[in-house]
Amino acid sequence: FLFEREFVDKYLDDDPTVMLESAPLQQLARDRQLSVFEHEGFWMGMDTFRDWTELNGLWDQGRAPWKIWED
């Protein structure tokens, strides 16, 4: 996700139990302020230790599909 500072000020509060995908994004959509970007490259979430291990394994093996630059 990419947000402007205004989003934080307007749609988030201090409640640590609020899930971003529920109330804040739903309100953003109702306000017609939500848009998307279709990324056609590699993407993989890194939400768990298993994800971290898999992504680091790809990097260590030189098989990281997100590395599109030359050293």
What does the domain layout of the chain look like in residue ranges? 1-37, 40-71
> Is pLDDT at 59 greater than 90 in this prediction?
yes
Average pLDDT over residues 58-68: 96
| CB contact at 8 A, 65 and 58 | yes
C-alpha–C-alpha distance, residues 52 and 20, integer Å: 22
What's the pTM value of the predicted model, to 2 decimals? 0.58
CA atoms within 13 A on the CB side of 39: 6
Indicate the residue type of 52.
W
Taken in order 28, 26, 51, 67, the sign of the CA dihedral is negative
Residue 21: pLDDT band with limits 50, 70, 90: confident
